[in-house]
Structure 1
């Protein structure tokens, strides 16, 4: 099956997830370089996939802003100032806004991690040094998508700035997958090159972290996730995907 046909199958089949049977078995084990961790979650219980290192505790980078904003929106003072800061954090990955909101709600990351059962997510004195895993991020977004579909977080992710507050072009990784509606990116400001991205679409969420560049992450994600989703969903629908 050609690549364009595979991508079309993914996009169309995701809409059928809610009526597909819930039984699941690992459809394949694609080779993903250990530099990259990837996690995929879907609308069906236990229908998910991840690289062997998906539970590894890695730098949360700016994906930590998802947790801080979620706490501020649901447990904060509901002020217009908080909402404005939160929007800038999600759409433009604004570190200044994150510094302000993290200082106002210093327990945000720990509280969200406990509430959502994010085992690899831990705060640090600085939010920029907090940790998480791609499994935690994908699980978090999947729960938001299912239980809180009207969350401003999802809306803002669907309207990201093409350029972040610090001038970084936001365009790599999971955002390139077919069917993606919204994305949040993260990257390191230190000497070590490190990037992350997390996206959601109709019926799925996906998160990736790479010890490497944005283009490297995009290549790793596109080499694995479309085929995984195609074969996974095809099996749910009783179809056969030819190599």
Structure 2
């Protein structure tokens, strides 16, 4: 029980600081609006909404799969590494397109390697994934590959993305978070996503809605996850 509290320290603090109702919360209730899929993972377990395994547009979270593949399975060229860094730190679409052209198999191959059953697609920009899959992937990186440049780039993300979008919302707002990757739609209805890691935990969310709605839903999910994973003992 004490170990669980240590692992989830950042999440607990985040819930408390934002006034989320931790004590007495019912994780089985509809704590998170249906517009948002949400997942938390730790080495000791996890929690997610009923939609956490639902395939949704991967948005720029697909760049995590793409960049990781290029770093570990590419030819190791300086150009690949520079493009992968820009794709993660600045969410640079042009850099991702460069990598995607060189490694069109990257998303599918990463999904197969990490057992991401709800992830698919060729071109990164039209790939699908689930919050559970992203969380599974990032937890594997944090626990088995802590020296990955992917994590370093997430931890040193640019304040403003290549297209001018501010990168300061969603799961990044949970205290204890070390690094984040954001995603957002450029056309059609508004969709936003964020994925973060901290000491011993990963938090991922995807919302059909605004960044403000997304951030609010993240903390609703945090509260439910804390209630489910910490309080029952």
Q: When the two structures are superposed, what TM-score results if normalisation uses the length of structure 2?
A: 0.87
Partner of 1:174: 171
Alignment pair present for 1:83 and 2:76 = no
DSSP 3-state at the match of 1:164? coil
Post-superposition shift, 1:231? 5.6
Match of 2:113 in 1: 115
Using a 3 Å threshold, how does the CA distance of structure 1 residues 105 and 141 change in structure 2: closer, same or farther? same
- The gaps in structure 2 that reach 5 residues or longer are 14-24
Distance 1:12 1:42 in 2: 11
CA RMSD, 1 decimal: 2.0
1:123 Cα shift? 1.3
| Contact 1:176-1:222 within 8 A present in 2 as well | no
Cα distance in 2 for residues equivalent to 1:180 and 1:234: 21
Report the 3-state secondary structure (helix = DSSP H, G, I; strand = E; otherwise coil) of the residue aligned with 1:180: coil
Provide the C-alpha distance between the structure 2 equivalents of 1:12 and 1:94, rounded to a whole number of angstroms: 29
Deviation at 1:28, TM superposition (A): 2.2
Rounded Cα–Cα distance in structure 1 between residues aligned with 2:145 and 2:177: 18
Partner residue, 1:20: none
Match of 2:212?
215
Alignment partner of 1:165: what SS? coil
Count of aligned positions:
215
Q: 2:38 maps to what in 1?
A: 38
Report the alpha carbon displacement of residue 133 of structure 1 after superposing the two structures with TM.
0.3
1:52 matched to 2:50? The reply is: yes
Flag the 1:100–1:38 CA change in 2: closer, same or farther, 3 A.
same
Distance 2:203 2:227 in 1: 14
Aligned residue runs from structure 1 range 176-215, under 5 A? 176-215=173-212
Give the match's secondary structure for 2:119. Answer: coil
Cα shift at 1:233? 2.9
C-alpha distance in 1 between matches for 2:156 and 2:223: 23
Task: State which structure, 1 or 2, has the greater radius of gyration over its C-alpha atoms.
Answer: 1
TM-score, normalization: structure 1? 0.84
- 3-state DSSP class of the match of 2:112? helix
Structure with the larger RCO, 1 or 2 (CA within 8 Å, 6+ apart): 2
Residue in 1 that maps onto 2:20: none
- Tell me, yes or no, if the aligned pair for 1:122 and 1:130 is still in contact at 8 Å: yes
Secondary structure class of the residue paired with 1:93? coil
- Structure 1 pair 197–12 and aligned structure 2 pair: CA distance change class (3 A): closer
**Deviation (angstroms), 1:10:** 3.1
Shift of residue 228 of structure 1?
2.3
Output the CA distance in 1 between the equivalents of 2:189 and 2:10: 35
Cα distance change on mapping 1:231 and 1:58 into 2, 3 Å: closer
How many angstroms apart in 1 are the aligned matches of 2:11 and 2:118?
Answer: 33
Give the match for residue 133 of structure 1.
130
